[in-house]
């Protein structure tokens, strides 16, 4: 399942006026965007996320600065660096994620496939591992 977490390169239309990056729902990313939020002002030693979602898929883009994302499917872990405004990471449902190592200028943009619903968040790692034992990983 961890292999479903993948970097996506977005089309760019930069010219001598500057850069323009395009992210279209259902085209550049594999879902319709229902929610956008962004995270900034997190110190370097802060770990955010620490949850999995039953239903929501995400794409994370550091539109400024850098951060790292550690993904975990209960069996394997993988670390991705977000350090270019024209790349993002796609995270499928049911992946445990930690965001950390934020640069001072980090602005982490998050695109989500669902509206916010706290009841679809799993915030306990032991509970997540228990649930993943019963998940169909195909
Ligand atoms: P939290 O899930 O802890 O953020 P992160 O995943 O970045 O660590 O969310 C922080 C607070 O914001 C929490 O009270 C829930 C709320 N929140 C919303 O109301 N809507 C949202 O879309 C998100 C992502 C969070």
> How confident is the model over 17-76, as pLDDT tens digits?
999 999 999 999 999 999 999 999 999 999 999 999 999 999 999 999 999 999 999 999
Structural domain contains residue 19: no
Structural domain contains residue 31: yes
- CATH number of the domain to which 84 belongs: 2.60.120.10
Tally of structural domains, the chain? 1
Q: What is the pLDDT of residue 85?
A: 97
Structural domain contains residue 98: yes
Structural domain contains residue 36: yes
Residue ranges making up the domain that contains 122: 2-10+24-131
Asked about 51 being catalytic, the answer comes back as: yes
Structural domain contains residue 105: yes
Give the residue whose CA is nearest to atom 1 of ligand 1.
49
For 96, residues 6+ apart whose C-beta sits below 8 A from its C-beta are 50, 51, 52, 71, 72, 73, 74, 122, 125, 128
| Whole-prediction pTM | 0.95
Structural domain contains residue 137: no
Structural domain contains residue 89: yes
Q: Tell me: the pLDDT tens digits for 104-138? A: 999 999 999 999 999 999 999 999 999 999 876 54
Question: What is the whole-number distance in angstroms between the Cα of residue 61 and the centre of ligand 1?
Answer: 17
Q: Which residues approach ligand 1 with their CB closer than 6 A? A: 35, 37, 39, 48-49, 116
CA dist 30 and 35 (Å) reads 14
Structural domain contains residue 77: yes
């Amino acid at each position: 399942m961890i292999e479903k977490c993948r970097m996506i390169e977005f089309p760019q239309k930069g010219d001598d006026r500057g850069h323009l990056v395009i992210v279209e729902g259902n085209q550049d990313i594999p879902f319709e965007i229902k929610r956008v939020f962004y995270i900034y002002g997190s110190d370097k030693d802060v770990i955010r996320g620490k949850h999995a979602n039953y239903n929501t898929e995400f794409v994370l883009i550091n539109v400024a600065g850098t951060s790292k994302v550690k993904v975990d499917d209960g069996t394997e872990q993988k670390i991705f660096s977000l350090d270019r405004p024209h790349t993002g990471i796609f995270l499928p449902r049911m992946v445990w994620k930690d965001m950390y190592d934020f640069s001072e200028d980090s602005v982490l943009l998050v695109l989500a496939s669902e509206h916010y619903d706290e009841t679809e968040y799993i915030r306990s790692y032991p509970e997540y591992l228990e649930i993943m034992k019963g998940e169909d990983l195909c």
